[in-house]
Chains A and B, each alone.
Chain A
């Protein structure tokens, strides 16, 4: 981590900015970025770099804007990064800091750690912004008062894709899934989306082979025969829907399936909160600013961290407060109008504290669509046609 370099950039930026109204008695507000070095497999594609600063870079870019605004209102924002090793407990690491600080936390944690953090007495009245855990359970049955989900849930992703596929009239899905628990969760979400929008899973198969090292000599020859075997003889289908969240084989499906069908799901046509192919609604500005700042493209994780920090900055400046209850009420208002470069004002679903947001439908290199699709109607928010709506969720965190 070249954290010092970021600090330098931020400080240099602060010094060179010359907007007046700079005050001596500024109020310090601290945010925490809490992450863990989870073991993960390298990307299958050789074209994709292994990133070690995903999320963090987005957070730091957002801090710049926050401080630029903050200076005009005597606020100074600081970001403290706590990234623990894979066998360490992130909750223990953040605990000691929370006693003397604002409890404003960006949680880049998987669901198990996130739940532990949310249940810790140290985070009572905290505001925890989840940018990592996609599990539907966290939005449907196990909701926490102090957790706000910036990241779309699995169901939001599969619903967003489903709406597009329905619009295309591609209603017969052949589902191929990996063997991990997250893949199984995704399969559940796909099944729910199919039922919700009137599509049909005509057949489901799983792929159990471990991919292994991606850099092997003559590796393509094996893949060339494995993928047709995996997909041969399936019932008539319009698309191959792949559930492979750990990226162990999804990349290998396009052009190798037994039938010439498009691949959608976790690879091929994907549903995501952010993508480099997206430049509408002033998205260009954010893409450019990030690339200049980070020297690489903005990933979904970067975007979510950027948005989380932006939300906190906006809430503090607009309410002129760091009181958790005041911030909470502000964040949960229907007219929060958070601007996420999606062309729509963003706000939270009160019952499960999930950020409602349009979802991008993108191929590898070009934007294909943005869901919700036209024609999917909702009495309150169009964006509530994707993901679990209030009547489907057991959570009831805030009234109304």
Chain B
């Protein structure tokens, strides 16, 4: 209780001191070929931006000025200007980009080319391709380590987590995880990478240094058949205590204690939640519900879903920008 109180106080301080509290949410709508922009405070739709076909993975640039959107069916990345709220330039990452991440310096973006079993590394400024690294079949999850020494890509069809050396841009390790890994996420201390397996129904916790699976977390929700529990999107709480795992057709977000690996709570959201995003101040979690065409907002302090707002059709991913 005391801890929760402390966190709440910390948030309150944030409210008054941190300018980051203003912001916009960018939600990719796979069916509509648009990105919905929502004011994070009023939760009103500010704009609906047309993009290329099949927008899925999206991420805010490190300087906060742009949002990169993978539009797989056009083999392209659309770059949205956060102020102008329109696509201002495009990048050519090779075939079928699905998900991407930027390095902490903002220089590079790492892109999963789903149809091509490649990871493309390019300069964020001009799209110059630095490397194309062959990985397993259907790469999807893509996360650059906060220290920028490695990148982890997951390949759905080969069920692996691939560790890429960011210096040499070569593969270092391939770790077999459960079936169809969808997303990789580091713990806040950078020591572990968590990999969600959609069909396997588990999350593998892998040591970043020793490259060994430390723990496999499974989920069990009363009244829901295990075949419907399909972990996909993940985020860590700002204080590092919890991991949030979207469980797809099980329509819940699992809250996992990062120390004990116990599931603390299952939060009911809309249908088929895939990717999630956390507010930079850690207070709110945003969930894209693919089948109900909406976004659920979860209050992190109370671990309760507080609101749902409509977005476009088949929302897939969410990015936050000031």
> Is B185 in the interface zone, CB < 8 Å from A?
no
Per-residue CB proximity of B183-202 to A under 8 Å, as 1/0?
Answer: 00000000000000001110
Q: A68-B137, A69-B136 are in contact. Are A21 and B200 (CB under 8 A)?
A: no
> Is B49 in the interface zone, CB < 8 Å from A?
no
A339 touches B134 (CB 8 A): no
A18 to B162, CA, bound (A): 14
A318 to B179, CA, bound (A): 11
> Is A337 in the interface zone, CB < 8 Å from B?
yes
B200 touches A337 (CB 8 A): yes
A18 touches B115 (CB 8 A): no
> Is B171 in the interface zone, CB < 8 Å from A?
yes
Interface SS, A side: mixed
Residues of B within 8 A of A344 (CB): 199, 227-228
A317 to B176, CA, bound (A): 10
Chain A residue with minimal CB distance to B95?
A288
A381 to B226, CA, bound (A): 9
Residues of B191-235 contacting chain A, CB below 8 A: 199-201, 225, 227-228, 230
Residues of B250-289 contacting chain A, CB below 8 A: none
The distance from the CB of B313 to the nearest CB of chain A, in whole angstroms, is: 14
> Is B138 in the interface zone, CB < 8 Å from A?
yes
A19 touches B227 (CB 8 A): no
A345 touches B137 (CB 8 A): no
Residues of A within 8 A of B225 (CB): 381-382
Residues of B within 8 A of A69 (CB): 136, 158-160
Q: A282-B138, A343-B249, A345-B179 are in contact. Are A20 and B171 (CB under 8 A)?
A: yes
Residues of A within 8 A of B158 (CB): 65, 68-69
Per-residue CB proximity of A3-29 to B under 8 Å, as 1/0?
Answer: 000000000000001111100000000
Report which of B137, B171, B179, B230 forms a contact with A338, defined as CB distance below 8 A: B179
Chain B residue with minimal CB distance to A380?
B225
A285 to B73, CA, bound (A): 11
Residues of B within 8 A of A20 (CB): 170-171
Residues of A within 8 A of B160 (CB): 69, 72
A19 touches B174 (CB 8 A): yes
Residues of A within 8 A of B156 (CB): 282, 339
Residues of B within 8 A of A289 (CB): 115
A72 to B137, CA, bound (A): 13
Residues of A within 8 A of B18 (CB): none
Residues of A61-117 contacting chain B, CB below 8 A: 65, 68-69, 72
The distance from the CB of A327 to the nearest CB of chain B, in whole angstroms, is: 17
**Can you give 11 contacting A-B residue pairs, CB < 8 Å?**
A19-B134, A19-B136, A20-B170, A68-B117, A69-B160, A317-B176, A318-B176, A337-B199, A339-B157, A344-B227, A345-B227
Given contact pairs A337-B178, A381-B227, enumerate 5 new A-B contacts (beta carbons under 8 Å).
Answer: A69-B136, A282-B156, A339-B179, A344-B228, A383-B227
